[in-house]
Chain A
Amino acid sequence: MRTTTTIRMSLISLKRNPTRTMLTMLGIIIGIAAVITMMEIGNGSKTSIRTSIEKMGANSVMVMPGSMRPPGGARVGAGNAVSLIPADAEAIGNECPSVGAYSPVVRGSGIHVVFGNVDWEPGNIYGIAPAYLDIRAWEIADGRAFTNAEVDANARVCLVGSTIVKEVFGGMSPLGCELRIGEVTFEVVGVLKSKGANMMGMDEDDCVFTPWTTLRMRVTGLRYGNATNTSSTIADSPGSKFAISGLALYPEPDSRITRDHLFYAKHTQLNQIIFSAVSVDKIKDATREVSQLLRKRHRLKTEQEDDFRVFNSSDFMNMLNQTSTLMTNLLLGVALLSLLVGGVGIMNIMLVSVTERTREIGLRMAVGARSRDILKQFLIESVVLCLSGGIIGILAGHGMSLLIEKIARWPIESSPGAVAAAVLVSASVGILFGFYPAWKASRLDPIEALRYE
């Protein structure tokens, strides 16, 4: 018996009972729709994580200070310890072969910028070296980046993100404008290309970048000193390497606190060191080299734990992916369970159908159907039932995820793999749960079947 004929026949017999067919398919439809929706949401979140990571710089690695550990006291939040200094950054750049570019990062928090009558607190004020922009693959939209010479010279130049342009400069080009950051005036030399929100949902364009030396020495550092005292020398200043010689940026450290480590550190500590591995597959090597180097430089004994933390973008990606994969798998499990329930429904109805059509089966056998023809007929009927349910389910699931994208604004990505899997799974459910009823039908005795009332 030809398969096309069997398929046509099964379509006809399914059409005879449209309500029952629909209700039977419902289990499969719901199951497949759930699978498709879950896969599309899962894929969407994975893609959005990946693009966020790529925005962060695909092979960038960050080193942050560990938690502060005062003797005998409670540990204070991560990143508060004073452990990273500019010399660490230089050492990372010079001594680790797997490290490409590097940049010290200083963060200014709670500092306002003022232009004209606009007073704005940017999401991020970062003090960086020009390499930072390369590491994070952040391009300049307008103007120029500042140079290493400007970093060395504590120059008062800055780059602004597109949100700043909109909010502070009212959309006009800020190039050449004087922007006050904290209490220091900077010249805007460049505008950064828009990056959008990062993976935490924070606006990355709400940022101001200055040379890290300038931010540390002139803006954040000054908050602990005397801002008006500009006549002091900087001979003892920890930032001497980067300072303009002869120009006093810092108050002369009080003799009482000259050796006060904390005060000393306030001026030199970095909030972060960011570096890039020479290639993506060297990230692990680079991370290891940097960890070893920093442990050596910080004179940590083997039993002591790191006083810094190293994050690379793939760690971030894995962390975020793990969560989303876990959720997706969990829900996928539930969806597969409902497919199983749908399959049992199919089996039930197929058994009813076999009983109902006993006479028809007997007749078909009497006119020459072999057992395997009957088996094939009922098997194909159940597969057709499941496949049509599957196709409706795929459409419903896709519609559902589009709806979720529209209403909840979750990122959705359609997944051809999931569609293929759904087709395969629904066909398998049809075979799996249709086999027993079909086998039962094929085992019928034609004489008994013909006599069945």
Chain B
Amino acid sequence: MGKLIELKDIYKTYFLGEIDVPVLKGITLDIAHGEYVALMGASGSGKSTLMNILGCLDRPTSGDYLLEGEELGRASGDRRAMIRNRKIGFVFQNFNLLPRTSALENVIMPLNYTNNSLSRSECRKRGLAALEQVGIADRAGHHPSQLSGGQQQRVAIARALINRPPLLFADEPTGNLDSRTSVEVMEMFSKLNAEGITVILVTHSEEIANYAKRTIHVSDGTVISGAFKSKGA
């Protein structure tokens, strides 16, 4: 399968007044279509910064970031917003659902920023299909406060899937969940990966990382293992 992500010599430095704080020091890695990757590292290792760059939320100071062959490190803000909307799904540790808004409305919210001519009923249909995919279509009308943590995370996953992105980011997706619902959510990611979606997990837990087929270890701003897909994996 072709390369989905290519990072070439990515540097990221924060300029805090007089002091320069280098966070990423020359990261080079590839991720292919359909992979299930865990990004691991201790806090302060640069793992979150790397994820922000991969998710088009942040720009590298130098180096190339290619997503499906397109250079995005230096793309315009609008272009990157479009990429986030169409090609990337985010799942956050704290769900980040809009309060006092129904699950369905939460799920179809990204469609508001999609430049297409879907009618409202088509949007709802797609939202319901996404909720179906994560198995909570029956809770479409519930507000986040009426849902359990696991259900909220499923709604968040459905929201990430609404534009059928090839790439799904999950930043500590089980951080706020108990172990039983964690298993459910992780199985959900495995299922989605089996359906062909590339999943990148950001975690510091070995247990969670074990769900992935490949682990990239980051430490002190460099990749210490797993930068390239091992042969035979």
Do these two chains interact?
A: yes
In the complex, the answer to whether A368 meets B114 with C-beta atoms within 8 Å is yes
In angstroms, Cα B57 to Cα A362, docked, is 10
> A69: CB under 8 A from chain B?
no
Residues of B within 8 A of A5 (CB): 112
In the complex, the answer to whether A368 meets B81 with C-beta atoms within 8 Å is yes
> B138: CB under 8 A from chain A?
no
B65, chain A: closest CB distance, angstroms = 16
Interface of A is mostly: helix
Q: Which of A1, A367, A369 contacts B159 (CB 8 A)?
A: A367
In angstroms, Cα B109 to Cα A364, docked, is 8
Interface residues of A in 1-44 (CB under 8 A from B): 1-2, 5-6, 9, 12, 16
> B9: CB under 8 A from chain A?
no
B194, chain A: closest CB distance, angstroms = 24
In angstroms, Cα B128 to Cα A43, docked, is 56
Per-residue CB contact flags for chain A residues 356-378 toward chain B (1 = under 8 Å, else 0) read 00011011111111111100000
Name the CB-closest residue of A to B156.
A363
> B220: CB under 8 A from chain A?
no
A183, chain B: closest CB distance, angstroms = 90
Number of A interface residues in the complex (CB < 8 A): 24
> B100: CB under 8 A from chain A?
yes
> A447: CB under 8 A from chain B?
yes
In the complex, the answer to whether B100 meets A368 with C-beta atoms within 8 Å is no
Name the CB-closest residue of A to B159.
A367
In the complex, the answer to whether B113 meets A1 with C-beta atoms within 8 Å is yes
Residues of B within 8 A of A371 (CB): 77
In the complex, the answer to whether B113 meets A367 with C-beta atoms within 8 Å is yes
Name the CB-closest residue of A to B86.
A368
Residues of B within 8 A of A362 (CB): 96
Residues of A within 8 A of B205 (CB): none
> B4: CB under 8 A from chain A?
no
Interface residues of A in 439-453 (CB under 8 A from B): 446-447, 450
Known contacts A1-B113, A368-B113, A447-B57, A363 near B85 by CB under 8 Å: no
In the complex, the answer to whether B96 meets A368 with C-beta atoms within 8 Å is no
In the complex, the answer to whether B96 meets A450 with C-beta atoms within 8 Å is yes
Residues of A within 8 A of B129 (CB): none
In angstroms, Cα B144 to Cα A359, docked, is 15
> B25: CB under 8 A from chain A?
no
Q: Which of B92, B98, B159 contacts A360 (CB 8 A)?
A: B98
Residues of A within 8 A of B78 (CB): 370, 372
Residues of B within 8 A of A446 (CB): 57
In the complex, the answer to whether A367 meets B85 with C-beta atoms within 8 Å is yes
Name the CB-closest residue of B to A5.
B112
In angstroms, Cα B159 to Cα A368, docked, is 12
Name the CB-closest residue of B to A9.
B112
In the complex, the answer to whether A370 meets B113 with C-beta atoms within 8 Å is yes
In the complex, the answer to whether A368 meets B77 with C-beta atoms within 8 Å is no
In angstroms, Cα B105 to Cα A12, docked, is 11
Q: Which of B90, B101, B113 contacts A373 (CB 8 A)?
A: B113
In angstroms, Cα B55 to Cα A370, docked, is 15
Residues of A within 8 A of B55 (CB): 366
Interface residues of A in 135-159 (CB under 8 A from B): none
Residues of A within 8 A of B82 (CB): 368, 370
Interface residues of B in 53-94 (CB under 8 A from A): 55, 57-58, 77-78, 81-82, 84-86, 90, 92
Per-residue CB contact flags for chain A residues 365-407 toward chain B (1 = under 8 Å, else 0) read 1111111110000000000000000000000000000000000
Q: Which of A9, A12, A366, A372 contacts B57 (CB 8 A)?
A: A366
In angstroms, Cα B98 to Cα A365, docked, is 13
Residues of B within 8 A of A368 (CB): 81-82, 84-86, 110, 113-114, 163
Known contacts A368-B82, A369-B81, A370-B81, A450 near B112 by CB under 8 Å: no
Known contacts A1-B113, A9-B112, A16-B100, A367 near B52 by CB under 8 Å: no
Per-residue CB contact flags for chain B residues 204-231 toward chain A (1 = under 8 Å, else 0) read 0000000000000000000000000000
In angstroms, Cα B82 to Cα A373, docked, is 12
Interface residues of A (CB under 8 A from B): 1-2, 5-6, 9, 12, 16, 359-360, 362-373, 446-447, 450
Please give 8 more A-B residue pairs, beta carbons under 8 A apart, in addition to A2-B112, A365-B81, A367-B109: A1-B113, A360-B98, A367-B84, A367-B113, A370-B81, A370-B113, A373-B113, A447-B52
The 3 A-B residue pairs with the shortest CB-CB distance, nearest first, are A368-B85, A367-B110, A368-B113
